[in-house]
Amino acid sequence: MDSGRDVWGVVGGGFDFVGDVSIVWGTRVFPELNGIAMSETNAAAESNTAIVRGPAYVLGDDIDTDQIIPAEYLSFNPSIPEERRYFGMYAMAGVPAGQSGLPGGTTRFVPEDEFETEFAIVIGGKNFGCGSSREHAPLAIAEAGAQVVVAEFYARIFYRNCVNGGYLLPCESEVRLVEEISTGDDCEVDIDAGKLTNHTTGKTYVLKPLGDVKPIIDAGGVFAYARQSGMLAK
């Protein structure tokens, strides 16, 4: 399954799409993506770290963007800080009952009436982030405070939105972690070493390399990276 990593194999000349906005590399980029200011800070860019450790939140297959952030909450404006935090409050609000925090399925990602989650790492199955192209999905997860998603593979547009906005580190596992890890397990993702360690069980799992996308995420997104790289005037 192509998760979109090939898009970032070479950052230089060429033509590509970011969400619904076209980009001509090294020539012109647009300052905003469907109303979301790409220079906004986010968990992944702020951390700028190769290691993330914390409780894991486990989901199943085909988690779509409407489950991650239901359409009814898209009326909030992410460019306004007072409204942006509500994306964190309602992150994963659409996940069906019985599937929220596996294996039990009854654990909320964000406690009711709160804005932040205790879970630093999200574990998903196949086709994570499928559905619409809304950039608000990775934004919501990051705004809640999670920094990494580890899935078997992603819907291409979700993966690319994680990178474009610098919201999350979208890692891919070589095994089916949703059957190996339970919600609440103390996990550690080491990006440079390419591994996930479950300190609760003592098991370690191999992750696929992020390749050229991590510098883009660390920079805070594709536009910030373009400025740092000299492709766009500061």
Task: For the chain, give the mean pLDDT.
Answer: 83
Is the pLDDT confidence value at 47 over 90?
no
- Residues with Cβ within 8 Å of 52's Cβ and at least 6 positions away in sequence, in order, are 120, 121, 147, 148, 169, 188, 189, 191
Is the pLDDT confidence value at 150 over 50?
yes
Q: Quick check: 122 and 141 in contact, CB under 8 A?
A: yes
pLDDT for 214 equals 86
The Cα–Cα gap between 158 and 75 comes to: 20
The Cα–Cα gap between 29 and 25 comes to: 7
Helices vs. strands in the chain: H and E counts, helices first = 7, 11
User: Given the structure tokens 């033509």, which residue do they identify?
Assistant: 15
pLDDT for 50 equals 84
Higher pLDDT: 74 or 3? It is 74
Q: What is the pTM of this model?
A: 0.80
